[in-house]
């Protein structure tokens, strides 16, 4: 069984969650960084996660940051502003996270995202499901929380659905099926190997890590800032920098001050499928369970989005127009919940947090999400599942001679 499957919620891990869901959680021996005790540790780590979530929500709402919006802009027209902001955020996250690792402030090798198995099937299949669901809803799981901050009740229903279906897939009635038919299909690397791009290409060398980091940063942030008109858009540039820096912040905090209680001994940064389910569980069992950095982030995002919406006078209640729209949102959010667990993350969890660690699985999952979103967009417009070749030709049209 792939180690990533175990990390992302096998039946044994579900038992571990129940046994560790008490104040103080799982204690770790010999961990670097400040040693905090029980409730004080839980409170501080959760508040730090909440603070980062506020920054993410405020920046995303202010700059209209949206992964699906970036894909739509790239697919339908020549506008690339949101795509540039999204790639700038990735570049900043990669640069800062890798710097923290090289400086010894973060040990990325302890993260499940750099395990010795590459769950390629789950990354592709789950990514496509997540992307298709994202198109049906009109935003991703992170975007739902941002919309919720502005008073969108549709986002509330969708967020609850993502959390419930995600938990059902992680450790509920769908878990055994996922473990047997999805997570079991993986590429096994040699013992002690890592799936980081730098490790696969150059081995565990500092020069290789720096080379791959520079290449990814130039391909993302470098391209994003290559256009003068975009560089003059201060709001978009600052939003991209803030979001990318917050991803690195998550890696640093969970490496230095504590761990997610569900995954002892493992650093992590923001993600918004599994943590939504954990946040719902914590709300129902808070007297006997512990909060975490990622749970704090789930509550921080709508809080930050509310501040941005309130500042611009955009806070107002919204609801479904009709039953048809509600069915579409419920179906899409259910696909995102299940797909996000199978893909080991969402547009933020894999698209930024995982890529910041240079995880090969994250690149595969992100490609699956983009493909699923493109299929979903065409389905909504044309009413049928389009041919993949037509999708690719539309996204990358041939040059005119």
Whether pLDDT at 166 is above 90: yes
pLDDT score at 63: 94
> How many angstroms separate the CA atoms of 123 and 343, rounded?
4
Q: What is the pTM of this model?
A: 0.85
Is the pLDDT assigned to residue 380 strictly greater than 70? yes
Q: How far lies 334's CA from each of 23, 120, 163, 218, 269, in Å?
A: 31, 21, 9, 36, 23
- Provide the pLDDT confidence category of residue 221 given band limits of 50, 70 and 90: very high
Domain boundaries, the chain: 42-395
Average pLDDT score over residue span 58-79: 88
Which pLDDT score is estimated for 339?
96
Q: Which pLDDT tens digit goes with each residue over 251-308?
A: 999 988 754 454 456 889 999 999 999 999 999 998 888 888 999 999 999 999 999 9
3-state secondary structure 192-253: CCCCEHHHHHHCCCHHHHHHHHHHHHHHHHHHHCCCHHHHCCHHHHHHHHHHHHHHHHHHHH
Q: What gap in Å lies between CA 355 and CA 340, rounded to an integer?
A: 15
pLDDT at 384 over 60: yes
Give, in order, the Cα–Cα distances in Å from 322 to each of 170, 319, 329, 381: 31, 9, 11, 19
Per-chain mean pLDDT for the chain: 86
Residue 55, pLDDT > 80, answer: yes
Q: What per-residue confidence (pLDDT) applies to 378?
A: 87
- CB atoms near residue 177 (< 10 Å): 10
Reduced to 3 states (helix: H, G, I; strand: E, B; else coil), residue 150 is coil
């Amino acid at each position: 069984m792939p180690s990533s499957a175990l990390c992302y919620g096998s039946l044994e891990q579900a038992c571990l969650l129940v046994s560790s869901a008490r104040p103080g959680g799982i204690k770790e021996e010999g961990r670097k960084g400040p040693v905090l005790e029980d409730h004080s540790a839980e409170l501080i780590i959760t508040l730090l996660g909440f603070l980062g979530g506020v920054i993410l929500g405020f920046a995303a709402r202010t700059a209209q940051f949206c992964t699906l919006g970036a894909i739509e802009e790239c697919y339908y027209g020549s506008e690339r502003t949101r795509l540039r902001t999204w790639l700038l955020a990735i570049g900043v996250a990669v640069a800062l996270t890798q710097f923290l690792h090289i400086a010894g402030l973060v040990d990325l090798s302890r993260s499940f995202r750099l395990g010795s198995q590459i769950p390629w099937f789950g990354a592709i299949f789950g990514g496509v499901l997540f992307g298709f669901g994202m198109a049906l809803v009109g935003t991703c799981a992170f975007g739902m929380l941002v919309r919720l901050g502005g008073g969108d009740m549709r986002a509330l229903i969708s967020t609850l659905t993502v959390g419930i279906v995600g938990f059902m897939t992680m450790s509920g009635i769908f878990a055994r099926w996922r473990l047997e038919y999805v997570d079991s299909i993986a590429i096994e690397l040699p013992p002690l190997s890592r799936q980081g791009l730098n490790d696969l290409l150059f081995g565990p060398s500092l020069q290789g890590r720096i080379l791959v980091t520079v290449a990814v940063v130039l391909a993302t942030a470098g391209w994003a800032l290559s256009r003068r008109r975009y560089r003059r858009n201060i709001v978009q540039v600052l939003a991209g920098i803030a979001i990318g820096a917050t991803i690195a912040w998550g890696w640093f905090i969970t490496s230095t001050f504590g761990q997610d209680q569900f995954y002892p001994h493992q650093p992590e940064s923001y993600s918004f499928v599994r943590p939504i389910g954990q946040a719902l569980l914590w709300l129902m069992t808070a007297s006997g369970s512990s909060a975490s950095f990622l749970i704090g982030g789930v509550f921080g995002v709508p809080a930050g989005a509310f501040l941005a919406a309130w500042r611009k006078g955009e806070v107002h209640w919204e609801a479904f127009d009709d039953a048809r729209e509600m069915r579409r949102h419920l179906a899409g959010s259910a696909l995102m919940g299940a797909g996000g667990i199978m893909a080991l993350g969402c547009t933020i969890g894999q698209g930024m947090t995982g890529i910041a660690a240079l995880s090969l699985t994250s690149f595969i999952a992100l490609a699956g999400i983009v493909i699923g979103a493109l299929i979903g967009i065409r389905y909504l417009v044309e009413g049928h599942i389009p041919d993949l070749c037509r999708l690719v030709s539309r996204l990358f049209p041939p040059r005119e001679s």
